[in-house]
Each structure stands twice: as C-alpha cells, then as structure tokens.
Amino acid sequence: MNLSLRDTGGGLLLVPQFTLAADTGKGMRPSFTPAAPPAEGERLFAYLREQADQRHHPVAAGQFGAHMQVSLSNDGPVTFWLRVAPGSGA
C-alpha cells in the first residue's frame, strides 16, 4: 500500500460501466437517470483514457457501450471505492 502504480510497474485497466449509476431504490427495474447521457459519458471516458495514457504505462481500456465480461481478483489487504461528489470539479 505504500507504493504507487508507477512504483510497482503495474498496469491500469479502465472499464466504462454506466450501470454503476443505477438507482435501485424503487420498483423492480433500475433507473439510469442519475447517469450522464451516453455522448457525455463517452466523452468523459475518452478524456480519462487520454489522461491515463499520458501518466501510466501500460493502460488498457474496454470499449464504451460494448458488452464486456470482466473478472477481477483482488490481491491485497483493502479495496477502495472512489467516489467524487457531483459538481466537485474533480
């Protein structure tokens, strides 16, 4: 936990997943109204990818809007959920 991604020589995988914005508080089906419109989400994901490519190597990314199957094995003492408040400018 005391080393950065760059320090360890690790890679970065970016997965666009709008379903993380699902509102499941009411009814039988999730609502995706909290999510950005698809064009805005795609623009933001492309920007994130550009920034990551400038700072890290290697960087891999999923395709925005595609059906993807991703599996993950956490290997470490903790898992962090990173969340930025809307309108924070971060």
Q: Which sequence positions are flagged as catalytic?
A: 17-19
Scored b (16 or more CB within 10 A) or e, 40-60 reads: ebeeebeeebeebeeeeeebe
CA distance 42 to 65: 8
